[in-house]
A and B are shown apart, each in its own frame.
Chain A
Amino acid sequence: MPLIIKDEYPEKLFREDGKRLDGRSEKELRPIKMEVGVIQNADGSAYLEWGNNKIYAAVYGPREVHPHHLAKPDRGVLRVFYRMATFSVFDRKRPAPGRREKEISMILADCIEPLLFLELYPGTSFEVFIEVLDADGGTRCASTTVAALALADAGIPMKSLVSAVAVGKINGKKIVDLSGIEDKAGEADLPIAITWYNEEVSLLQFDGDMDLSEMNEFLSDAKEALEHIHKIQLDVLKSKYLKLQQETKNDKEKEGKKGDE
């Protein structure tokens, strides 16, 4: 239950015991929970809870391109629509998509596109719809992570998954996975995504100030956190298929028994 009535930043972003306001240590991630196949109508879908962030992603495609003039004769097109619910933020957001949402949609499309074999799907489109229902810092990173899962859930051929996290600096200390308040009140914020097939950076933005050695440290901190997130993504996907395997096995056993009778 939020007890904050005015949107004021606290003076200190670390507690007396050196932990962050939500009790995490400097390099600790918030709790992350993911699920695939949550939207029955979609070709692929995923849901993510990352701290207080709650995000749904759905993939439709390959399908016909609307409007038609966007179709490319030699390859498919990937379109990403990142949207926030009106009630996902402190002050009600206006329902129509704003400049921020459009920019993030583009950044996400650019981040995910290297993963896909779009040249195999001429004249079609893949559409990724991302709906942020509850936002608490790092939604673009969380959206990247959940979009990758939804694409994999749709069974679309991919070179690998992509995972994203934000690293940054508050009160001079380097931290991993900024919460909403740390993002607003901190000194630096660097969202970064790694595509695992080549282990290269596919999304990178930065706001704040840092020197060279800080940048190096940010990048290696991020890599470490991302490996952990990637593992969660893989586990979620695997558990879906293990469950399916178990179900088919049970069905076969049942059929086998019927045959014996």
Chain B
Amino acid sequence: MMDIKRIISKIERDYIISNLKKEERIDGRGLWEYREFQIKNDIIASAEGSADVSLGDTKIITGLKYEVGEPFPDLPNEGVCTVMAELLPLASPLFERGPPDEQSIELARVVDRGIRHADCVQTKKLCIKEREAVYILFVDMYVINYSGNLIDAGGVSALTTLISAHIPEGVWNEDKHETDWTGKYITGETIVKELPFVITYGKIDDIIFLDPSLPEELVCDGKISISVTEKKITSIQKSGAATFSIDEIKNLGEKSLEIGKKLRKDLDLLQYLNKID
């Protein structure tokens, strides 16, 4: 078992920081390196899309369910996509039972905003009948093992889940005033357009590094998560007590676009599209 405490000893903290000052990480990575991503798609038979994503020892399983409901009055021809996160007490002694706490809400919100503002989910394609029936998608993330940087793992997990989607196709029956099922499926190919990646950096003193692991997350002053699409920054979240200079933020914006480009190529998430004839 890994030794996990809420508080890290001074000696461990000093060790992590002195390593970072030499541009080294305690797990042997460079400052701008991700741990290894491992992705499996469509693993849950009961879900309409799912993914099992590991980032180092951090593991998140995400599933997609849908309901048909009424659209919001101000967006009468658009479906809805919501993201939820559960930090299971199974995943770490640091997680407690009970209703979602701040950390799980932040995880769900940051992933949700990354997707929402990136033109990722084509909500207009999730409309069955204007003002009457739209798809409501639930992307639910379950943390199975917590070893730092849930946000980036969650982002890839949610995105892979949406890409692997296969939702029964409905058409509006005007006479019966309800949805009929065609027997065909709407897949990720229709639902997903842009692929946003959320990229998280930790900061200790004036050192900034990518993808904080659990010990680094516990000692760092704060974090910043930047969501990027191919060419644009779509959302930013600064969390924790660290402060970032204007120059640092400019640099991180540039860096994020670069890292996003690399992730897009390396992970090649579109390979997880479901092909249904």
Interface residues of A (CB under 8 A from B): 1-2, 5-6, 39-43, 45, 52, 54, 56-58, 60, 63, 66, 81, 83, 85-92, 95-96, 127, 129-131, 133-136
| CB-based closest 6 A-B pairs | A87-B63, A129-B90, A92-B65, A87-B47, A58-B90, A86-B140
The answer to whether B142 touches A92, judged by C-beta atoms less than 8 angstroms apart, is no
The answer to whether A85 touches B45, judged by C-beta atoms less than 8 angstroms apart, is no
Task: Name the distance in Å between B185's Cβ and chain A's nearest Cβ.
Answer: 8
Q: A86-B65, A86-B84, A95-B140 are in contact. Are A1 and B44 (CB under 8 A)?
A: no
- Assign chain B's interface to a size class: 35 or more
Residues of B within 8 A of A57 (CB): 90
Task: Name the distance in Å between B79's Cβ and chain A's nearest Cβ.
Answer: 15
The complex places the Cα of A95 from the Cα of B138 at a distance, in Å, of 11
Additional A-B contacts beyond A2-B45, A41-B4, A129-B90 (20; CB < 8 A): A2-B46, A39-B90, A39-B91, A40-B1, A41-B2, A41-B93, A41-B145, A54-B43, A58-B90, A60-B89, A81-B89, A85-B44, A85-B61, A86-B140, A88-B46, A88-B63, A131-B142, A133-B61, A133-B63, A134-B46
Residue B151 at the chain A interface, CB threshold 8 Å: no
The complex places the Cα of A92 from the Cα of B65 at a distance, in Å, of 6
The complex places the Cα of A230 from the Cα of B147 at a distance, in Å, of 33
The closest CB in chain A to the CB of B45 belongs to A52
The answer to whether A127 touches B89, judged by C-beta atoms less than 8 angstroms apart, is yes
Task: Name the distance in Å between B161's Cβ and chain A's nearest Cβ.
Answer: 9
Residues of B within 8 A of A86 (CB): 63, 65, 84, 138, 140
Residues of A within 8 A of B90 (CB): 39, 42, 45, 56-58, 129-131
Proximity string of chain B (86-101) to chain A, C-beta cutoff 8 Å, 1 when within and 0 when not: 1011111100110100
Q: A5-B168, A40-B145 are in contact. Are A129 and B63 (CB under 8 A)?
A: no
The answer to whether A92 touches B67, judged by C-beta atoms less than 8 angstroms apart, is yes
The answer to whether A135 touches B147, judged by C-beta atoms less than 8 angstroms apart, is no
Task: Name the distance in Å between A32's Cβ and chain B's nearest Cβ.
Answer: 16
Task: Name the distance in Å between A86's Cβ and chain B's nearest Cβ.
Answer: 5
Q: A41-B4, A52-B45 are in contact. Are A87 and B91 (CB under 8 A)?
A: no
Task: Name the distance in Å between A129's Cβ and chain B's nearest Cβ.
Answer: 4
A-B contact pairs, 11 of them (CB 8 A): A1-B274, A39-B91, A40-B147, A43-B1, A60-B89, A66-B96, A81-B97, A85-B61, A86-B140, A92-B65, A95-B86
Residue B166 at the chain A interface, CB threshold 8 Å: yes
The answer to whether A85 touches B97, judged by C-beta atoms less than 8 angstroms apart, is no
Residue B107 at the chain A interface, CB threshold 8 Å: no
Interface residues of B (CB under 8 A from A): 1-2, 4, 43-47, 50, 57, 59, 61, 63-67, 84, 86, 88-93, 96-97, 99, 138, 140, 142, 144-147, 166, 168, 181, 183, 274, 276
Residues of B within 8 A of A66 (CB): 96
Residues of B within 8 A of A85 (CB): 44, 61, 63, 86, 140, 142
Residues of B within 8 A of A136 (CB): 45-46
The complex places the Cα of A72 from the Cα of B183 at a distance, in Å, of 57
The answer to whether B44 touches A134, judged by C-beta atoms less than 8 angstroms apart, is yes
The closest CB in chain A to the CB of B97 belongs to A81
The complex places the Cα of A40 from the Cα of B274 at a distance, in Å, of 31
Task: Name the distance in Å between B157's Cβ and chain A's nearest Cβ.
Answer: 13
Counting chain B CB atoms within 10 Å of each CB, the highest count among A63, A83, A87, A91 belongs to A87
The answer to whether B44 touches A56, judged by C-beta atoms less than 8 angstroms apart, is no
The closest CB in chain B to the CB of A134 belongs to B44
Residues of A within 8 A of B59 (CB): 39
The complex places the Cα of A131 from the Cα of B143 at a distance, in Å, of 11
